[in-house]
C-alpha cells in the first residue's frame, strides 16, 4: 500500500511504525472473511481493511471525526485478521496507533458525549480500583435484585476450596490480576491445586496488580504503560533471583499483554531489557502444563464432555493454537466441536459493556455453534467465561477448574 504521511507524523516513532505496517498491506480483503464486526454489520469501514484506510487517511492529514472514532471503537481487537492475513500485517499494533491519535485529535474537535466519557473512565479506573473486589462481593450478594443487564457481569460466587501450602523445589510465578481475583478466585486456586499434584509450587507478589491492558485498551496508553512498569518492578526481584522457572498465566488477555511488553516499552531504555526477560518467561497455563509429560492423565477420576472456546487473545494474539485442546484430550476429556472456534465471542475486555448489541449477538452466535450438549463450556480468559455464561445455563468454567474437579 502506498503512503504519503503528513509532516506531523512522518518522522515520529508512531508514524514510522504505522507506515511500515501500512506498506505491508496489499488490500486483498481476506481479512474481511474472518472479521466479526464486518460479518455482523456488512460495512467495509467496520472491517480491518476499512479501518486501515481510515487510519491511513488520518496519518496523511485528514481530520478524524466522531464517525472515524466509532468505526475504530467497534473493532474488538480480536486480531483474527492477523491470523488470516497472507501478508503478515500487524493490524493490532496499527489500530493501537490509530486509536491513540484519533482519540487525542477528536477530544478537541468532536469530544465524546459526557455520559460516554463517564462510562469509559469508570471502567478504566474502577476495574483497577481496590474498591472493585468489595463492590463485586456486594453485587453478588444482591444479584437477584439488580437489573438483568448487570447480572451478567456478576458471576455467582463459588467456594475457593483448600489451597495447598506445601513448599516445592520447582516454582512458577502467577499474576492474580485486577478483576479475576474478585470475579473468579477459583481459577488460580485450581491452578495451585493442579500444579501441586505435579510437585510444582505457585508464587505471587502482593504488589503485582494490573498488567496494563485495561488502561491501554481504553485509550489511556500512557497510564497502561505505567501499569506495565509497575508490574515489572513488582516482579523483577523474584525474576532476577531466578526463583521461578516461568510466569504462568490463567488469563489469556493478561498473557498476550505481558508477552508484548517489549513492543509496548520499546522506547524505554530503563525497562526494555527487563520487559524482554519477563516476556520470555511468560506462557499460558496450557503451554506450561503441556510440558509436564502427560502426568495429569494418570490422576483423572472422571472425564466430562467439554466444548472449549479458545479466546482471541490466546489463538490470535499469542498464536497459541490447539495446545489447550491437546491437554484436555490427553487428560481423557471428550471435546464437543465449536464450528466457528476461530471467531470472537464478543467479550473483548470492556467491549461488551461499551458495545452490548454487537457483543451479545456474537455471544449468541458462538453458543449456537457448539455441537452437541457438553457438560461444560470451557475457556481461558475471565472475560470470555463471564460473557458466555450470561447466555447459557450450561456451566462455563476455566479449563483448569474442570481439570481440578476431575482429579479432586
Q: Which tens digits make up the pLDDT trace of 175-189? A: 998 889 888 999 999
For residue 294, the model assigns a pLDDT of 80
Closest C-alpha among 171, 206, 144, 127 to residue 382: 127
pLDDT of 408 > 80? The answer is no
For residue 129, the model assigns a pLDDT of 79
Residues in a beta bridge with 306: 335, 376
For residue 149, the model assigns a pLDDT of 63
Split at pLDDT 50, 70, 90, the class of 93 is very high
Mean of pLDDT values over 306-334: 97
**Higher pLDDT, residue 211 or 292:** 211
For residue 140, the model assigns a pLDDT of 79
Mean of pLDDT values over 391-407: 96
pTM: 0.94
Please name the residues in contact with 73: beta carbons below 8 A apart, sequence gap of 6 or more. Answer: 354, 355
Q: Average pLDDT of the chain?
A: 94
pLDDT of 107 > 80? The answer is yes
**Higher pLDDT, residue 82 or 179:** 82
CB count in 10 Å sphere of residue 219: 21
Q: Could you give the CA distance from residue 364 to residue 302 in angstroms, rounded to a whole number?
A: 29
Q: Where do runs of H (alpha helix) occur along 86-174? A: 91-109, 114-126, 132-141, 148-151
Contact status, residue 333 vs residue 305, Cβ threshold 8 Å: yes
Concatenated DSSP letters for 318-346?
S---SHHHHHHHHTT-EE--BTTTTS--S
Amino acid at each position: 500500500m502506498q503512503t504519503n504521511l503528513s509532516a506531523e507524523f512522518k518522522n515520529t516513532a508512531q508514524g514510522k511504525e504505522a507506515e511500515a505496517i501500512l506498506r505491508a498491506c496489499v488490500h486483498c480483503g481476506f481479512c474481511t472473511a474472518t472479521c466479526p464486526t464486518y460479518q455482523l454489520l456488512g460495512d467495509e469501514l467496520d472491517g480491518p481493511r476499512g479501518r486501515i484506510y481510515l487510519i491511513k487517511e488520518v496519518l496523511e492529514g485528514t481530520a478524524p471525526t466522531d464517525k472515524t472514532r466509532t468505526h475504530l471503537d467497534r473493532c474488538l481487537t480480536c486480531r483474527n485478521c492477523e491470523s488470516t492475513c497472507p501478508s503478515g500485517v500487524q493490524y493490532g499494533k496499527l489500530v493501537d496507533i490509530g486509536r491513540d491519535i484519533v482519540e487525542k485529535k477528536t477530544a478537541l474537535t468532536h469530544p465524546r458525549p459526557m455520559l460516554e466519557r463517564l462510562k469509559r473512565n469508570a471502567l478504566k479506573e474502577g476495574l483497577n480500583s481496590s474498591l472493585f473486589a468489595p463492590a463485586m462481593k456486594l453485587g453478588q450478594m444482591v444479584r437477584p435484585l439488580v437489573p438483568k443487564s448487570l447480572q451478567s457481569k456478576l458471576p455467582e460466587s463459588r467456594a475457593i476450596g483448600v489451597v495447598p501450602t506445601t513448599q516445592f523445589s520447582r516454582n512458577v510465578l502467577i499474576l492474580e490480576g485486577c478483576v479475576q481475583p474478585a470475579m473468579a478466585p477459583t481459577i488460580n486456586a485450581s491452578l495451585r491445586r493442579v500444579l501441586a499434584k505435579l510437585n510444582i509450587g505457585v508464587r505471587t507478589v502482593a504488589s503485582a496488580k494490573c498488567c496494563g491492558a485495561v488502561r491501554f485498551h481504553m485509550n489511556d496508553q500512557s497510564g497502561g504503560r505505567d501499569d506495565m512498569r509497575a508490574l515489572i518492578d513488582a516482579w523483577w526481584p523474584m525474576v532476577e533471583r531466578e526463583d521461578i522457572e516461568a510466569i504462568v498465566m490463567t488469563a489469556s488477555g493478561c498473557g498476550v499483554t505481558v508477552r508484548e511488553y517489549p513492543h509496548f516499552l520499546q522506547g524505554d531504555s530503563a525497562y526494555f531489557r527487563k520487559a524482554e526477560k519477563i516476556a520470555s518467561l511468560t506462557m499460558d497455563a496450557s503451554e506450561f502444563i503441556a510440558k509436564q509429560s502427560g502426568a495429569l492423565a494418570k490422576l483423572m477420576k472422571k472425564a466430562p464432555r467439554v466444548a472449549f472456546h479458545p479466546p482471541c487473545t490466546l489463538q490470535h494474539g499469542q498464536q497459541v493454537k490447539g495446545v489447550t485442546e491437546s491437554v484436555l484430550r490427553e487428560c481423557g476429556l471428550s471435546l464437543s466441536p465449536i464450528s466457528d472456534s476461530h471467531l470472537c465471542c464478543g467479550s473483548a475486555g470492556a467491549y461488551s459493556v461499551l458495545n452490548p448489541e454487537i457483543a451479545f449477538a456474537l455471544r449468541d452466535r458462538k453458543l449456537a455453534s457448539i455441537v452437541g450438549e457438553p457438560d461444560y463450556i470451557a475457556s481461558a480468559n475471565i472475560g470470555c467465561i463471564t460473557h458466555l455464561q450470561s447466555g447459557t445455563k450450561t456451566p462455563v468454567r476455566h479449563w483448569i477448574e474442570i481439570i481440578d474437579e476431575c482429579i479432586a
